[in-house]
Amino acid sequence: MQKSQLLPIPFLLLLMLCSVPVSAKQGTGVLYVYTDTWGGIEALTEPPQGNYLVFPGQTIYIRIWNVTEVSAEKFVTIKIGWTDTNGNSQTMFFYDVQVLEQFGVRYIDVPAWTAPSNAKICTTSTVHYRYGNNEYVAAGQMSNIGHMHFVVPEVPFGPITSLAATILALYAYMRIKRV
């Protein structure tokens, strides 16, 4: 009996997926997101990972703190990757952003950015910084990679009350339909 020739195909697919090069290295800079100004009121985070919650249309101020890969006063390119409502990957670039230094700590203040109104809800956005041919992804405070998640502002009653109202409405609909 002949062995199936299909066995190598999954192995080849796995090999192809594992060999895809990653363009950005893990950076030492840690992502911080503020809602009023750099170093001001920090944006809401989602426990336990500490992902920042960003509303489409909201202006945010991004700081990458403790950058060790680039000297102070050098200029870097900032890249923010996000997904639009059609599922297309989008990128926002900020060119010639200066690396600053305070008390011996280097950091980058990204120009104020208004999150796109067509950002897909519940998707992740990452922040990269590039100097020369080297690109780094900003780290998170509680994870290896810092993330921003696009979310819809909560309804005035909060998520628990909204869920309870939805369940009660479904129950009422089912009762009425049964009668």
pLDDT confidence tier of residue 27, bands split at 50, 70 and 90: confident
Residues 81, 109, 57, 93, CA torsion sign: negative
Tens of pLDDT along 37-93? 888 888 888 776 777 888 888 899 999 999 999 999 999 999 988 888 888 888 899
pLDDT at 98 over 90: yes
Q: What is the mean pLDDT of the chain?
A: 76
Residue among 87, 98, 104, 106 nearest 30 (CA): 106
pLDDT confidence tier of residue 155, bands split at 50, 70 and 90: very low
pLDDT confidence of residue 71: 94
Residue among 172, 82, 91 nearest 125 (CA): 82
Three-state SS sequence of 123-157 = CEEEEEEEECCEEEEEECCCCCCCCEEECCCCCCC
Q: Which residues pair with 30 in a beta bridge?
A: 65, 139
Q: Is 3 or 119 the better-scoring residue by pLDDT?
A: 119
For 1-133, strand residue ranges (E) read 25-34, 45-46, 51-54, 59-65, 75-83, 89-102, 105-109, 113-114, 124-131
The rounded percent of the chain whose pLDDT value lies above 70 is 69
CATH class of 22-154: mainly beta
Dist CA 139 CA 105 (whole Å): 16
pLDDT confidence tier of residue 96, bands split at 50, 70 and 90: very high
Average pLDDT on 126-146 reads: 78
Q: Is 4 or 177 the better-scoring residue by pLDDT?
A: 177
pLDDT at 99 over 90: yes
The verdict on pTM exceeding 0.95 is no
Burial grade of 166 (CB within 10 A; 0-12, 13-18, 19 or more): exposed
Count of beta carbons in the 10 Å neighbourhood of residue 123: 18
pLDDT at 173 over 60: yes
